Structure 1
Amino acid sequence: MTRLKHKYGLLIIGIVIGIAYGLITRLVFGYKATLASVTYLFIIPTILGIIPLMFADTDKLKSYRNIIFIPWLTVSTFFLTMFLIGLEDFICLLVLAGPFFILGTIGALLFRLVQINNHKSKGKLLTLVLVPFLFAPIENYIKTPSETYSTISEVVILSKPEVIWDNIVEVKTIKKGEYNSGFFNSVGIPRPISATVEKKEIDGQRIGKFEGGLKFIETITEYEDFKKVSFDIEIDPKTVRQKVFDQHVLNGNYFTFVDATYKLTELNNGQVKLTLLSSYRLTSTINFYGKFWGDIILSDFQNRLLSVIKARCEKKKQQVLTLCENHALANGLARLSH
């Protein structure tokens, strides 16, 4: 133990300082900026990879294994600390993981290159820790672009349009056994529970309920029987959970649900293609990264919901067929008895 402390003592101190720096920046910038700013998502991870190596000697800097292992150890411990003290949920850390691990490694490689070749003063390089605090105010003055994106999912159902229509305009309570929960549900994304409609016409209100009490207040904007229904979406702020991810996304200013549309297209052989298109708006300086995760999470949600609708409609069709077959059989037996 003494030998390990002697050999890696300063480096361990560097890792601890790196973790402390990460926590300070998280507290300073707050949850509203964490997933939506260049400063937090790109600059801080780079510096986080550099800080521990400022306490490493030249021999340790020459090892590429250290250049990868040390930043990853720092970021992992930083993430674990935030999770344990409740600063971030697991899904938040999942979103942050790519930039932090990749840019932390890149920062370490750049530091190695500069330090080995030029022997810059580590004291001067330490001033890098101030960069986020200088850049963040500038970023706040940059006009934040607002862009709308759409995610589309489709499923082919062997059923009548009327049956499908009854299962999309209103959605009866979805039991746990019906819904095939996935990875995102297990890490905090609430599953749908039901949807009720005040009146089935334009301007009618539709209430979508989700696990944990979350409610979507939806206003019907298009309504064409058995063909198409669209509605604007607003989140009831009183129903947003106090979980970190929900506060990040649903109570933040950079992600907003816009609308959703169900469309039915009749195919051959008694099949119907059901299309669900959802739109959302991102307002941040890193919309491209938000779109990456928005598309993944929303597509997963839509596909699982459509699977429930498909199963319900085809089960209903099978029940009707069975009823008809039983009725025909009963009629046949009755004729034979006469």
Structure 2
Amino acid sequence: MTRLKQKYGLLIIGIALGIAYGLVTRLVFGQKATLASVTYLFIIPTILGIIPLMFADNDKLKSYKNIIFIPWLTVTTFFLTMFLFGIEDFICLLVLAAPFFILGTIGALIYRIVQINKQKSKGKLLTLVLLPFLFAPIEEYIKSPSDTYNVTSEVIIDTTPEKIWNNIVEVQTIDPKEYNSGFFNSIGIPRPISATVDKKELGGQRIGNFEGGLMFIETITEYDENKKVSFDIKIDPSTVRQKVFDQHVLNGNYFNFVAATYELTELKNGQVKLTLSSSYQLTSTINFYGRFWGDIILTDFQDRLLNVIENRCETKE
């Protein structure tokens, strides 16, 4: 044990300091430590990969296994700590995983090259830990672009347009047994429960109810019976759960649902193609990354909802 401490003691201290640094930055930045922050998503992971290696000797730095293992161990333990203390939800960590593991490794590799070849003072390199605190205020003054993205899903149903229409304008309560919950539902994405409409015409208000009490307030903007219905979407902020992911995304300033459209197309074989298109807006300096996850999660949601509608419409009365 003594020999182990002598050999790896400083490195273990470095890993512990890396984890502590990650927790401090997360707590200091608070709500600004979002999935749309360049500082939190790109700069901090890079530094997190560097800190433990500042306590490794050159022999350990020469091993490429250590360049991967040490940052990954640091990030994994950091994530586990945040999850256990309720600082981040599992879905948040899933979204953060790729940047933290990849950039942590890149940071470690850069440090290895610089330290072995240049023998830079570790004291000077430690000033890197201040970089997020210097860049974050600057990032706030950078105007974030707003982009709107569309996600489309479709299904072919062997039934009449009228029956489909009666299952999309209003949606009767969806029993958990008829909804094929998936991975994203299991880690926190709420499943749809029902939808009600006060009047089936332009200007009508449609209320979408989701698991956990979340409510979408939707205004009908296009209404062509048995053919097409569109509505704007607003989230009732008072119904957003206190979960970290929900507060980051649904009550944040960078993600907004915009609209949704159901469109029915009669096919020659007597079947009907039902298309569901949804649009959402991202406002950040890293919209490309938000879009990656937005498209995946929203496509999964739409496909599962259409599956419920298909099963309901094809059920023999």
TM-score of the superposition, structure 2-length normalised? 0.99
Give the whole-Å Cα distance in 2 for the aligned partners of 1:90 and 1:31: 17
Distance in 1 (alpha carbons) for counterparts of 2:152 and 2:197: 23
Aligned to 1:234: 234
Amino acid at match of 1:82: M
2:121 equivalent in structure 1: 121
- 1:322 aligns with none
Instruction: Give, in angstroms, the shift of residue 68 of structure 1.
Output: 0.3
Tell me the distance in 1 between the aligned counterparts of 2:34 and 2:82. Answer: 13
How far apart, in 1, do the equivalents of 2:71 and 2:33 lie?
A: 23
Shift of 1:33: 3.4
Match of 1:181 in 2: 181
Q: Shift in Å at residue 31 of structure 1?
A: 3.0
* Larger helix share, 1 or 2: 1
Aligned to 2:33, what secondary structure does the other structure show? helix
Q: Give identity over the alignment, percent.
A: 81
Give, in whole Å, the separation in 1 of the partners of 2:62 and 2:290. Answer: 36
Aligned to 1:270: 270
Measured in 2, the distance between the counterparts of 1:160 and 1:34 equals 45
Give the deviation of 1:230 after TM superposition: 0.3
2:205 aligned residue: 205
Coordinate RMSD, CA, aligned: 0.7
- Counterpart in 1 of 2:225? 225
Counterparts of residues 82-231 of structure 1 (less than 5 Å) = 82-231=82-231
Residue 28 (str. 1) matches residue 28 (str. 2): yes
The CA distance in 2 between the partners of 1:260 and 1:173, in whole Å, is 20
Shift of 1:270: 1.3
Q: What's the offset of the Cα at 1:74?
A: 0.2
Q: Which runs of 5+ in 2 are unaligned?
A: none
Number of aligned residue pairs: give it: 317
Shift of 1:94: 0.1
List 4+ stretches of structure 1 deviating above 4 A: none
Could you tell me whether the CA contact under 8 Å between 1:179 and 1:304 is conserved in 2? yes
Please state whether the residue corresponding to 2:253 is helix, strand or coil.
coil
Q: For residue 309 of structure 1, what is the aligned residue in structure 2? A: 309
**Structure 1 residues 24-61: Cα deviation after superposition (integer angstroms, max 9, x where no partner):** 11011113432111110000000000000000000000
Q: Return 5+ residue gaps in structure 1 as ranges.
A: 320-338
Quick check: 1:32–1:252 contact (8 Å CA) kept in 2?
no
Q: Distance in 2 between matches of 1:33 and 1:284?
A: 13
CA distance in structure 2 between the aligned counterparts of 1:88 and 1:240, rounded to whole angstroms: 16
Residue type matched to 2:41 in 1? L
Q: Read off the aligned partner of 2:192 and give its amino acid letter.
A: P
Give the conservation status (yes or no) of the 8 Å contact 1:50–1:104: yes
Larger radius of gyration: 1
